[in-house]
Every structure is written in structure tokens, then in C-alpha cells.
Copies of this chain bind each other. A is one copy, B any other.
């Protein structure tokens, strides 16, 4: 056992609840706190399963910080009732984020992660879909500001551009965010989605200069990809991503908040949640902690 492991989990590590997808909220809070991890990112579905007020009390009782809420977005629908319903869902997610951030321990972050959404069925109009993302954020910015919530627009890997997120690079997310107050609209910086980008280091630096790094998330990439490519995320010591250069670039911007690990992976989901948290702690300590101040 190394000294770092003997000292316990990295104090900046946050377990994103999707990493232990099949744990209910009570279990997720318990296994996270029991492992000595100090922070958690939550998802809307398990929160709403118990109700927001109960979830907020459970979070407060856990003593954990709250690092982000997942997720809003799905903004690419054309004008109509479905789009309005999606915007209303986002407004509820903003309120949840504010409530949970207030309930979490000191240092919690009122950050709502946004996944843009894919092309509407039958459409080839990627440019139009991207413009609708900007418009939708514009429709939500006042609500977010009033609630004290930062919207974290997440660029997703280009392999998801058609069916999940038409925002594909950090540079593109920053271009959209540039229309808005940086306290209200930022970007999610997730190594899995952006590691391949030839511009990644300069765009991380830019995101820092512009005050837009709303959350930093880490997980690893390896091939062959899972049959469902959504589930190809791995512990940080199993793939090919250079966490050193990316993490140092984020830290150099002055980012000093929690770092989430979000693993979509069928094998990990089938594992015991306490073991998953322990492996996450281990791989974070190996791959990420050495690059933190």
C-alpha cells in the first residue's frame, strides 16, 4: 500500500452516481461516504425517486459535498410542444441543482451538466441543430442566474454527434457559452470526450481564461469500444488517455474544485458498488492525484 492510499482517497475525488448506476440514492451516499470519499455528483432519476426534499436531507446527513447534477439538455428539437416540455424539464433540473448544492457540505457546486441532444429523427441539418442548442441555453439562462446555478454544457465525443450531442468539441462549447455570463454558462471538461482533440490543451487554457470550466471529469478510453459505444468508459489506469497533460492544463487555469469520475460501463455497473468506489479511488490515486497540487 502506498502512502497516498494509506492517507485515504484523494480529497478532490467525487463519485458521479452513474458510476454506481444501480445503487439507489441511499446506497450511493453510503458507499461513497464509507470509502472516505468527500464528494458526490447526483443524477435526476434517483433523486426524484425519493423526492427532492428527502434527497436534500439525505445528502446533508451524508456530510458529502455535491459536485454536479446530471443532467439537463436535449435541446435540438425544433420549435413546438416537445421542445417546450424539454425546456420545462430543464427548469426543474435547475431548481434541483440549487437545492442540492445548498444541502451539500461546504464547497458544494451548483452545476447542472447539459447534454445537447442529437439530430432530430430524419434530419441531416447538423448546423441548424447546433443553433437550437444556443437558443435553448438562451431560454434558460435567466432561470439559471436567478437560481445561482451554472449550466455546464458538455461536449461529447464526436461518435455521439448524431444521436446524443451535437456539441462535439470544447472549442464549440466555449463558442456557444461566449454569448452568456460565465457564472451562468460554462463547459464540462471530460477527458473521455476530448482527449483526442488536437486543440485540447489550448481549448482548456482558453476555457480557464474565460472562466468556463464548470466541472472537470475523468475516465479512460480504450479499444475495442464496447458494443454499445456509450458504455466504453473505463477506470483511469486501464486505457490510453494521458491524464497528466490534461489534468495539469486544467489545474493551471486555477480550477480548484472537485474532480468527478463518471463511468458508463456494463461490467462496472454489474459489480458491487463498494468495490467500484474502491477501484475508482485506486485508479484516481494512480492516474490523477500525482498531477494535483
What residues make up the interface of A, taking CB atoms closer than 8 Å to B?
A: 119, 123-127, 130, 157-159, 161-163, 168-169, 171-172, 175, 195-198, 221-225, 227-229, 239-242, 245
- Using Cβ atoms and an 8 Å threshold, which residues of chain B touch A196? 126, 158, 161-162, 168
Number of copies: 2
* A283 CB to nearest B CB, Å: 14
* A194 CB to nearest B CB, Å: 9
Q: 19 A-B residue contacts at CB 8 Å? A: A123-B240, A124-B242, A125-B242, A126-B196, A126-B242, A127-B242, A127-B245, A130-B198, A157-B159, A159-B225, A159-B229, A161-B195, A161-B196, A162-B221, A163-B223, A168-B196, A168-B197, A169-B198, A227-B227
Task: Report the 8 A-B pairs with minimum CB-CB distance, sorted nearest first.
Answer: A161-B196, A159-B159, A172-B198, A158-B196, A124-B242, A163-B223, A162-B240, A158-B158
Task: Choose one: B124, B168, B221; the contact of A240 (CB below 8 Å).
Answer: B124
- Using Cβ atoms and an 8 Å threshold, which residues of chain B touch A197? 158, 168-169
Task: Choose one: B125, B229, B239; the contact of A229 (CB below 8 Å).
Answer: B229
Q: For chain A, what secondary structure do more than half of its interface residues adopt (helix, strand, loop), or is it mixed?
A: loop
Residue on B nearest A127 in the bound complex, by CB: B245
Told that A123-B240, A124-B240 touch, could you supply 9 new A-B pairs with CB distance under 8 A? A119-B240, A126-B240, A127-B245, A130-B198, A158-B158, A162-B196, A162-B240, A163-B224, A227-B227
Contact indicator B225/A229 (Cβ below 8 Å)? yes
- Using Cβ atoms and an 8 Å threshold, which residues of chain B touch A161? 195-196
- Bound Cα distance A225, B130 (Å): 22
Contact indicator B157/A124 (Cβ below 8 Å)? no
- Using Cβ atoms and an 8 Å threshold, which residues of chain B touch A169? 197-198
- Using Cβ atoms and an 8 Å threshold, which residues of chain B touch A175? 198
- Using Cβ atoms and an 8 Å threshold, which residues of chain B touch A225? 159, 229
Residue on B nearest A198 in the bound complex, by CB: B172
- Using Cβ atoms and an 8 Å threshold, which residues of chain B touch A227? 227
Q: Which of A169, A198, A221 has its CB near the most chain B CB atoms (within 10 A)?
A: A198
- Bound Cα distance A288, B119 (Å): 21
